[in-house]
Amino acid sequence: MVTAAISGLGVALPPATAQDDLWDGYFARHYAGSRSGLARRIFANAGVRTRQAVVSPLLEDVSEWSTERRMRRYQAEVMPLGKAAVSRALADAGIAAGDLGLFAVCSCTGYATPGLDILLARDMGMSPNLQRLVVGHMGCYAALPGLGTVSDFVTARGRPALLLCAELTSLHLQPAGSRTDIQQIVSHALFSDAAAAVVVTADSPGYAVREVAAITDTSTADHMTWEITDQGFRMGLSPRVPSVLAAHVRGLVDQVLERHGRTIADVDGWAVHPGGPKILDVVQERLGLDDTALATSRAVLAARGNCSSPTVLLVLDELRRLPNPPRSIIMLAFGPGLTLYVTLLEASTLAA
């Protein structure tokens, strides 16, 4: 049986700015008034030290822009970022763009046709027979169903596939009229921009994709929202999200591991989407993990912020670069639905 394996990974990041500088240089004014003290505390406790953005509010204020203007800027900014991530992933895997059989793109922060899938395929020399897939509006967990889809393609067809996750959350800074909305303060304190790409190939050295599983609690669908407005996309983020994850994360992780004859003790790598400090605290507590298990996820949150769909791939990239890379990795990501995705990866010199 053919096994799909992650054989290449590439990351591209726009310029970074210190969280304190963002607060002092822009958000202190944006949130001036009765909620300024609360906003300052939220920014200070977000677990973020630096964040990157294609459009920094210190240089350019997009908060009053129309959605049309934001989408035009998205197309201009996402192309070079996506191209860089894809180029690095292909080089890491040692394959040419023309060898790809499937190119999948995940993004919830911008839309246009022709989109990234068509334009990058054209500009990077991908085959005219290439199959393409665009996954939109799944949010922070999109990388894992995307990974499952490209892995299924590789298993069924035996041809290489590539997944690109690219998000430009900085383009959705909300106007001053929403400055007293706590959910907007939280999102403005956490979110960041990034692109990450993975190449998946058949029976190759790398991380074999053993299983992708999910659970959705539709009774809490209103806890996390991403609405298109006339002034960009507006985040809704309930403080009850961690409690919903607490109810489901242990059961789903245990089920996936049991199907492969494993337990939590057998996992030596954890790539957990760092949606925020409380999310990571809940996952650590429910899974009974020590502080070292989620150190990489916390470090990515501190250095990169929450970049939506690419973030869990940023964590995976850091794990694989450790002096002693983990052999068995659980990837966890969460998003609207509320939805929880779990992926089991296993390293091998020749996946079988």
Residues annotated as catalytic (active site), given as ranges? 140
Bridge partner residues of 233 (DSSP): 228
**Residue 28 in contact with residue 169, Cβ under 8 Å?**
no
Query: Residue 191 gets which letter from DSSP?
Result: B
**Residue 151 in contact with residue 200, Cβ under 8 Å?**
yes
Residue in 121, 123, 117, 106 with CA at minimum distance from that of residue 167: 106
Residues in CB range of 210: below 8 A, 6 or more apart: 260, 344, 345, 346
Output b/e per residue, 197-210; b: 16+ Cβ within 10 A: bbbbbbbbebbbbb
Does residue 98 come out as left (phi exceeding 0), alpha (psi in the -120 to 50 range) or beta? alpha
**Residue 325 in contact with residue 269, Cβ under 8 Å?**
yes
Residue in 170, 149, 138 with CA at minimum distance from that of residue 62: 170
CA 335 – CA 139 distance, rounded (Å): 6
User: In the numeric block, which tokens belong to residue 82?
Assistant: 């996506």
**Residue 95 in contact with residue 84, Cβ under 8 Å?**
no
Q: For residue 114, is the peptide bond before it cis, meaning its omega torsion is within 30 degrees of 0?
A: yes
CA 107 – CA 194 distance, rounded (Å): 11
User: In the numeric block, which tokens belong to residue 142?
Assistant: 């999109």
